[in-house]
């Protein structure tokens, strides 16, 4: 019989929690304490500290255009390293443990190297190791391309899940193993009303619903990978985000039935990985948008906000945002297009940022957009672009105004004040 799901806990430790040997030993002690309570444990680990960035820099020092397959083979080693070290640290404490790669843990993905999506999880080996009495340490952020195992059953192609992907490994394993809990240990105490590193007044939330957490993540709150929140939502996995350095209550991400009664603005998110591109005096005729955005899509550049100004004298300006990391690629793709369609030119700005207010009740609450724009105006922050959805309002601003924008929005929407619904729940214990 396999292990009982109820006493099975999936834990994930992020890179900053594993930055050096001493931290790895502390994480191992924490795992050992959880194990001593009788829990069966699957522990997902990220690469140590800045390892993933360092590996990317190494590849960039070799070539401008690293092969996607080789890059994934390289990046996956970061998580192999930390998984083995955590396992050894547990052995040193007398705790039985074994490290597994993503593929050994049964994680298969689609074929998109560098941003693969998990296609399936068959954790037979994980279950077997649990039944053998091991704590199972799984290298996060990676899987094996579906259908790539060779005919002899040998290992297939390694893929990685995109930055922050270990969160997704943890939630996917928790869903597949029907674990009682999925705990994401990180370098802050939980989910806050804004990034606590930028907004000192940010307040920790006791609970946040999947929809609002998904939007915060999509708008740049890196504390959880977007795909991890989606998988949690689809599979109804309750996720607890908590500190790996101190014993303090964390934040629960789960279905939030009280969402309608809460403050309409639940939190702020920001994103610096943004650049603005403007095509000047583009001829105003059918097919132009296709000529611009088709080649960008073919090059794999994700275009976010798009603004086309009112045309005059048969021409119009088109502005849009792309991830800052893709700006050089976007320019290279667009230079010939600009010439072909007879536009006046192209300008770019890599010093912009996005700031968003997020809340599930925003769509039926008038006045929030005006309050956001007024607050930014009072703070002397110029708005360059605006976009809205049912659950957020986003402005593109100059990056130098970001801290000021976040602090004034946090104050204007009274986010430092506990939500009355949360306060009542906390008082009730
Ligand atoms: P890990 O290495 O554990 O995966 P990350 O760096 O990916 O950690 O995510 C944690 C960081 O997310 C925090 O240090 C914090 O600066 C940032 N962050 C951004 N927005 C938020 C938010 N709303 N609540 C908590 N942390 C946030
Ligand atoms: N190590 C990977 C990254 O830095 C995955 C993760 O940390 O979740 O993005
Ligand atoms: Mg992370």
Answer yes or no: is the C-beta of 144 below 6 A from any ligand 1 atom: no
Q: Residue 189 and residue 196: Cα distance in Å, rounded?
A: 10
- Per-domain residue ranges of the chain: 5-187, 257-429
Alpha-carbon torsion, ordered 362, 363, 367, 370, to 10 deg:
90
* Residue 425 pLDDT grade (very low, low, confident, very high; cuts 50, 70, 90): low
Answer yes or no: is the C-beta of 18 below 6 A from any ligand 1 atom: no
Mutate which of 59, 118, 164 for ligand 2? The one with the most ligand atoms within 8 Å of its CB, which is 164
- Among 116-120, 187-191, 394-398, 422-426, the least confident range: 422-426
Residue 350 has pLDDT above 50, yes or no: yes
Residue 423 has pLDDT above 90, yes or no: no
pLDDT in the model for residue 1? 45
Closest residue by Cα to atom 6, ligand 2, is 164
- Whose atoms come closest to the Cα of 222: which ligand? 1
* Burial of 94 (C-beta count, 10 Å sphere; 0-12/13-18/19+): exposed
Q: Residue 16 and residue 184: Cα distance in Å, rounded?
A: 12
What's the CA angle centered on 382, arms 379 and 385, to 5 degrees?
130
pLDDT tens-place string over residues 168-206: 999 999 999 999 899 999 999 999 999 999 999 999 999
For domain 257-429, give its CATH number from 3.30.2130.10, 3.40.800.20, 3.40.1800.10, 2.40.170.20: 3.30.2130.10
pLDDT in the model for residue 5? 54
Q: Residue 250 and residue 16: Cα distance in Å, rounded?
A: 17
Fold annotation for 5-187: Carbamate kinase (3.40.1160)
For ligand 1, what atom is nearest to the CA of residue 241?
25
Residue 208 has pLDDT above 60, yes or no: yes
Closest residue by Cα to atom 21, ligand 1, is 195
Mean pLDDT calculated for residue range 110-136: 97
For ligand 1, what atom is nearest to the CA of residue 184?
3
Rounded to two decimals, the pTM is 0.94
pLDDT tens-place string over residues 317-344: 999 999 999 999 999 999 999 999 999 9
Tokens of 239: 């996720």
Answer yes or no: is the C-beta of 142 below 6 A from any ligand 2 atom: no
């Amino acid at each position: 019989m396999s292990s009982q799901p109820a006493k099975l806990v999936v834990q994930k430790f992020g890179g900053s929690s594993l930055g050096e040997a001493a931290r790895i030993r502390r994480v191992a002690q924490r795992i050992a304490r959880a194990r001593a309570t009788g829990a069966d444990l699957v522990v997902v680990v990220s690469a140590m500290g800045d390892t993933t960035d360092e590996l990317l820099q190494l590849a960039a020092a070799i070539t401008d255009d690293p092969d996607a397959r080789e890059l994934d083979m390289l990046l996956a080693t970061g998580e192999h390293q930390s998984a083995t070290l955590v396992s050894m640290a547990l052995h040193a404490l007398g705790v039985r443990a074994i490290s597994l790669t993503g593929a050994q843990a049964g994680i298969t993905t689609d074929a998109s190297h560098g941003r693969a999506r998990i296609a399936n999880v068959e954790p037979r080996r994980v279950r077997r190791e649990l039944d053998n009495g091991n704590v199972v340490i799984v290298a996060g952020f990676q899987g094996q391309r579906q259908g790539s195992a060779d005919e002899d059953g040998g290992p297939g192609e390694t893929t990685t899940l995109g930055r922050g992907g270990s969160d997704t490994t943890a939630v996917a394993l928790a869903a597949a193993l029907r674990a009682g809990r999925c705990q994401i240990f990180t370098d802050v105490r939980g989910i806050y009303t804004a990034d606590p590193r930028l907004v000192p007044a940010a307040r920790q939330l006791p609970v946040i619903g999947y929809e609002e957490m998904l939007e915060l993540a999509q708008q740049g709150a890196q504390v959880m990978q977007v795909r991890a929140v989606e998988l949690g939502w689809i599979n109804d996995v309750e996720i607890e985000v908590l500190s790996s350095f101190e014993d303090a209550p964390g934040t629960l991400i789960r279905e939030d039935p009280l969402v309608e009664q809460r403050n309409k603005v639940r939190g702020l998110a920001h994103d610096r990985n943004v650049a603005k591109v403007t095509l000047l005096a583009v001829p105003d005729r059918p097919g132009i948008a296709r000529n611009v955005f088709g080649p960008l899509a073919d090059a794999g550049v994700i275009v976010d906000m798009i603004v086309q100004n009112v045309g005059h004298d048969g021409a119009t300006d088109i502005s849009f945002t792309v991830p800052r990391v893709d700006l050089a690629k976007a320019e290279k793709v667009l230079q010939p297009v600009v010439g072909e369609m007879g536009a006046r030119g192209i300008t770019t700005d890599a010093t912009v940022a996005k700031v968003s207010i997020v809340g599930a009740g925003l769509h039926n609450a008038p006045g929030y957009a005006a309050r956001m724009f007024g607050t930014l105006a009072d703070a002397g922050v110029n708005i360059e672009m605006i976009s809205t959805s049912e659950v957020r309002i986003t402005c593109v601003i100059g990056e130098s105004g970001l801290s000021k924008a976040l602090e004034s929005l946090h104050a204007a929407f009274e986010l430092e004040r506990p939500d009355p619904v949360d306060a009542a729940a906390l008082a009730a214990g």
